Structure 1
Amino acid sequence: MTSTSPHREPIRVGVVGLSASGGWAAAAHVPALAGLDGYELRALSASSAESARAAGEKYAVPLTYGSAEELARSEEVDLVVVTVKVPHHLELIRPALEAGKMGFSEWPLGADLAQAEELAGLAHRRGVLTAVGAMVLGEFREVSALIENLRPEVTHVTSGAVAAKTAEDQIAVTGVLESGAVAAVHIRGGTSRATAFHWEINGTDGDLVVKADQVQWWYGGLRLNGARGEDGTLAELTAPARYQRSLTQRAGRSTEPACNVAHAYALLRDQITGNLAPDEDGVPDSRHAVRRHRMLERVREAARAGRKVTLAEQGS
């Protein structure tokens, strides 16, 4: 995270991509901000001035703009949040950074490594604080990978038309983390009648299992179970208090889409205002995002070459 001096509350937020018709920003970001102290949803921008006004009326946002550039120039905005599709990240995040505004981007930061490096470099030159909605398992030291497209055709659910699909639907990655732990990751397309998301961690002193009933687990509904020592079976666990920063979490509403986003906002707020605990690092920033993009490039390289690849070869 780029360093910054403590900021006084409330932090005035401008959201790029908030639509009156709904979407991720409406389902997660708006309620997350509404449930936290220290933030004010002050502005939004959309694809046109008309659609921005409609969204402003629906969500009671006082300032509306027809472009991300206008929003970024506003003196009424401290933090610009970009919630649009990835192909538009570069063109919409860049104005905020050029204006010297703090920025919060959904993952991935850019459409590829080059875009991520460009945005991270701009943030560094401008000396602005950035945050990226990313998750962490631990850095890989080396990876092997298999990437396949096993369903090269897809059928449109409404028209029945068949179209070619170029995106891979099977991604298998194995590797060694910097800690020395071995990790195996399998991501596949399609639906499942079994567990949609399963994350298992086996350690020296115990085991943890995180599950969700939908592939988009970040929408909420995660279940945490674990055991340690002499425990013979897994038991349901409650996340420690330091991970219960938002009102939705403390109220036991962890199944709501806003839950994880609210935690990220709360952590970012504490970082902006200088209230992080001494042992906390803050939220992932653009530099972390570049590291993830580089890791993904190495995964693709490992799959193409059919060999183990060391991440240090690319300075990740």
Structure 2
Amino acid sequence: MADSQKRIGLIGLSAKGSWASRSHLPYLQQTSHYKITALQNSSKASAEAAAKEYSLNEVATYDGPSDIAKDPNVDIVAVSVNVPQHYDLIRPALEAGKDVFCEWPLARNLAEAEELVQLAKNKGVKTMVGLQARQNPSILKAKEIIASGKIGKVLGTTMFGHGLIFGGTAPESLLYALPIEAGANLLTIPFGHAVDALCYVLGELKDISAALVNHYPELDLVDETYKSLGKKVKKTSHDFVSMTASLADGGGNVDVTYAPGQTRTGRDFYWEIIGSEGSLVLEGPKMGGHVQMFQPKVKLAVGQEELKEVQVEKASEFSFNVGKAWDAWAGVGLDKGYNVTTWDDAVVRHRMIEAIYRSAKKGTRENYL
């Protein structure tokens, strides 16, 4: 093993398939910067099954977060499980002085996230959060175009997306997300990833005014093929988000709307940035409301020119954005704009989400910076 190669203890790799198996694993199995040396699942048998399924020979397998945290052959603990479990899985890793990657959202709420960030700072460890839309080549291209001044002063921006989830049905795998306390919903995940990309390109926001609605307090329970199971389940999470704000640096208008389910009109993701000298459009493919996973097309119109597509590096596979984030943590690709999104960044986004909840509840304009 190369001296610079970091050893990863991965929590949440399922033999039956999971986000970790579709995004992290393809990158981690081919990179020279990292090596998976341990797995932890809810049972040792489950971890052993995953090791066998993905030919991860000679990895240690565990059923508890304290055990993988104490493994001397683990430098980084990577947490890729459902949001409500994040806090309990992260704490032992931090206590053991390990560097930690965690998916977004970092925790169920701001209080948990701030506690984890403070503990990480006390322990002097490195952190990264899975806000990988920042590594999407189309988002990086938009950031480059805005910074170049091609479209002049940003006057305003409108973003619209569908979040896939909560459109009247719920698969059994999403039952954990139905209570608002779980912190895993349309506002925190698809909207959260998209608005993080917006702020990465244009800067943070001020004077947030938000409306949140739970249009589907009851959902039809379906299996993984979306066949009805003949049962209703209750949901307290919101499924429609409308937010207006201003850019904190420059005052441009901001309008973001996220709807449940999938589009009927071919607009899964549409983001327009209007400048004094031109306009920039990012238009997503089917299911493109999850901009952290799917790559939108980038189109530019300057002056009186027609809107034209801009050539952008292609995200070659599903794990592309995640892989670029891991590369950045290894110090690779920083010259190309790829970067490490830390837990400090995550807390800023958690604060924004709390401001949105406050605004929707009280009918006030709220700030988070």
State the TM-score bracket (shorter-chain normalisation).
Answer: 0.7 to 0.9
**After the TM superposition, which residues 1-316 of structure 1 pair with which residues of structure 2 at under 5 Å, given as runs?**
8-61=3-56, 62-63=58-59, 64-134=61-131, 135-136=196-197, 137=199, 138-157=203-222, 158-179=228-249, 180-193=251-264, 194-210=266-282, 211-214=284-287, 215-229=289-303, 231-239=305-313, 252=314, 254=315, 256-270=317-331, 276-277=334-335, 282-311=339-368, 316=369
Alpha carbons 1:219, 1:256 under 8 Å: kept: no
Counterpart contact for 1:29–1:261, Cα < 8 Å: yes
Confirm or deny: 8 A CA contact 1:144 1:299 kept in the other structure.
yes
Separation of aligned partners in 2, 1:293 and 1:46: 27
Partner amino acid, structure 1, of 2:324: H
Q: Distance in 2 between matches of 1:72 and 1:173?
A: 40
Q: Distance between the aligned counterparts of 1:66 and 1:164, measured in 2?
A: 31
Displacement of 1:143: 0.4
Distance 1:160 1:70, change over 3 A: same
1:21 is paired with a residue of what secondary structure? Answer: coil
Question: What letter is aligned with 2:211?
Answer: L
**Distance (whole Å) between structure 1 residues aligned to residue 111 and residue 361 of structure 2:** 20
Q: Partners of 1:205 and 1:270 in 2: how far apart?
A: 36
State how far apart, in whole Å, the 1-side matches of 2:117 and 2:217 are.
35
Contact 1:302–1:308 (Cα < 8 Å) also in 2: yes
- Number of positions where the alignment pairs a residue of Structure 1 with one of Structure 2: 289
Inter-partner Cα distance in structure 2 for 1:37 and 1:224: 32
Q: Secondary structure at the match of 1:29?
A: helix
Say which SS state the counterpart of residue 17 (structure 2) adopts.
coil
Q: C-alpha displacement at 1:205, in angstroms?
A: 4.0
CA 1:203/1:14 → structure 2, altered by over 3 Å: closer, same or farther? farther
Q: 1:169 to 1:59 in 2, by over 3 A?
A: same
Structure 1 residue 181: Cα displacement: 2.3
Distance in 2 between residues matched to 1:199 and 1:8, nearest whole Å: 44
Report the CA distance shift for 1:181/1:34 in structure 2 as closer, same or farther (over 3 A): farther
> Shift of residue 125 of structure 1?
0.3
* TM-score for both structures, normalised by structure 1: 0.85
Report the AA paired with residue 238 of structure 2.
Answer: E
After superposition, what is the alpha-carbon deviation per residue over 1:245-304, rounded to whole angstroms, capped at 9, x for unaligned? xxxxxxx4x263201111111111117xxx844x96931211111111111111111111
Structure 2 CA distance, aligned partners of 1:227 and 1:267?
32
- Contact map agreement 1:154 1:163 (CA 8 A) in 2: yes
What is the alpha-carbon root mean square deviation over aligned residues?
2.1
Alpha-carbon distance in structure 2 between the residues aligned to 1:299 and 1:237: 35
Going from structure 1 to structure 2, the CA distance change for 1:230 and 1:39 (only over 3 Å counts) comes to farther
Percent of pairs identical after alignment?
36
Aligned to 1:242: none
SS of the residue 1:156 aligns to: strand
CA distance in 2 between counterparts of 1:38 and 1:231 reads: 45
Between the aligned partners of 1:12 and 1:230, the Cα distance in structure 2 is 53
Deviations 1:5-25 (A, max 9, x none): xx9521111110111111100
TM-score normalised per structure 2: 0.73
